[in-house]
Amino acid sequence: QKKGRKVEEIFKILYHYQQVIINDKSCETKIFTIV
């Protein structure tokens, strides 16, 4: 169960970053640096 929950949280984070990229292209390089 913990593993499944962790995967779910990772997808939430990725989705959040995707929204940030869509909303603000200037943040794109910053996000890729974090990842």
* pLDDT attached to residue 11: 87
Whether this prediction's pTM lies above 0.75 is answered by no
* pLDDT attached to residue 34: 56
Domain that holds residue 12: 2-34
* pLDDT attached to residue 33: 59
The single-letter code of the amino acid at 28 is: E
Instruction: Count structural domains, the chain.
Output: 1
* pLDDT attached to residue 17: 74
**Chain segment 1-35, per-residue pLDDT in tens:** 677 788 888 888 888 777 666 556 655 566 555 55
Distance CA 7, CA 4 (A): 5
* pLDDT attached to residue 22: 58
Quickly list DSSP for 1-35: -HHHHHHHHHHHHHHHHHHHHHH-GGGHHHHHHH-
